[in-house]
Amino acid sequence: MSKYDIIVLGSGPGGYVAAIRASQLGFKTAVVEKESLGGICLNWGCIPTKALLKSAQVFEYLKHADQYGLSVKEYDKDFDAVVKRSRGVAEGMSNGVKFLMKKNKIDVIDGFGKLKTGKKIDVDGKEYSADHIIIATGARSRELPSLPQDGKKVIGYREAMVLPKQPKSMIVVGSGAIGVEFAYFYKSMGTDVTIVEYLPNIVPVEDIDVSKQLEKSFKKSGIKIMTSAEVTSVDTSGKGVKATVKTSKGEEVLEADIILSAVGIKTNIEGIGLEDVGIAVDRDKILVNDFYQTNIPGYYAIGDVTPGQALAHVASAEAILCVEKIAGQHVQALDYGNIPGCTYCTPEIASVGLTEKQAKEQGIDIKVGKFPFSASGKASAAGNKDGFVKVIFDAKYGEWLGCHMIGAGVTDMIAEAVLGRKLETTGHEVLKTVHPHPTMSEAVMEAVAAAYDEVIHL
């Protein structure tokens, strides 16, 4: 039996980061992976979807070249080539993780790992043991009883990335990050897209102003949107698919080539031995303490299988904290109230902290500032005037409670707010920090100025 200090089950952005940090700290480390290094994020999630979205964005630029004083007489898209490029980017990233495993002298054990008592893992009949086992098995597309996936006419995000041909029409059920990103991609490629959202607003976790702006932008691009709507059944017996949608006005039948189910995720915790070891689970999540220890000593869990936000950067942060705690370092628990969320459709969405509604519900006296990109010189020059930056501050102490952005490049701008909140920056400190001009990021300063009635360019 091979013996390690740490074995990590799963090699996504939680698992491979945990393995690398463990190796850096001197632990003899192995990672168990049943498919491809990098997990869903690098192979079927974050990275390849961004490659698809970049192709869509370039195609959109070609369509509107005349708005920039350019004439492009002949252009078209090659759907197969777009998909192939995306897969190539994913393969390159996975190979990069493979290189990092070798560089850090981490053993990669190929196969399906099952936890056993006594801090052991069985991988396809061969046993391995470790002083510490970290579970990082991630999640997959969730299936609803009314929307069973067949992989052909009713698909999840994985199939949506590698369809053999572009559908003429698509129904996207669910308007979280996955739903709206694919809705934008396929609409940009020329597919007729309808979004069906159960809640009253699309991207429902976002600030209501962001939700309204995205709906406005999507409708302008030709995406149809149905909110407060529920798919109650699907019929795949014909050439395409029919979806029965229940709304406040009654039932409606939608027809399309394909339905994309984007109604959330389901953790990968079945069949990995949790019950055999006695690890506590509640509502599909492994229960852990602030440093990701389960109720059974020597077993830990990070990433999507735990109750925190199901985001790649959260899994990576949890991985590092978990391993450093094992190493005996003094570490602080992760602040889940200061986790940025990003959605990469066009316009992009980025947010951190409380929404305006949440702040009011907590009874906080607040100052709210909003600066539209229509008033931004950089946005006007770039032709990307949709969207805004919205900031929320505690009126009494100036604490930065929340920041919500929608527009071009905002996923690269949100880190300013995350860092500012981490350092307990006040509104006046942001306001007096000189931002470069002309940039999209100066809209943050302008929004803060609006909150304090000092805005210049609006």
Query: Residue 14 and residue 199: Cα distance in Å, rounded?
Result: 31
If we measure between CA atoms, which residue out of 298, 337, 302, 330 comes closest to residue 316? 302
Query: Residue 217 and residue 414: Cα distance in Å, rounded?
Result: 20
Apex CA 261: angle with CA 62 and CA 150, to 5°? 110
Beta bridge partners of 437: none
In angstroms, how far is CA 300 from the centroid of its own chain? 23
Apex CA 163: angle with CA 159 and CA 168, to 5°? 120
Q: Which residue has the tokens 């360019």?
A: 457
The helix (run of H) or strand (run of E) holding residue 133 is: strand 126-135
Instruction: Please report, for residues 90, 331, 341, the alpha-carbon distance to residue 313 in angstroms, rounded to integers and kept in the order given.
Output: 17, 18, 9
Residue 212 DSSP SS3: helix
Specify the amino acid at residue 326. I
Pick the catalytic residue from 132, 313, 404, 437.
437
- Residues sharing a CB contact under 8 Å with residue 377, sequence separation 6 or more, in sequence order: 437, 438
Round the CA-based radius of gyration of the chain to a whole number and report it. Answer: 23
| Backbone phi, psi, residue 111, to 5° | 140, 180
Query: Residue 170 and residue 260: Cα distance in Å, rounded?
Result: 7
- Residues sharing a CB contact under 8 Å with residue 151, sequence separation 6 or more, in sequence order: 159
In angstroms, how far is CA 83 from the centroid of its own chain? 20
Q: State yes or no: is 404 an active-site residue.
A: no
Beta bridge partners of 44: none
Angle between the 79-103 and 46-63 helix axes, to the nearest 10 degrees? 140
The catalytic site residues sit at: 437
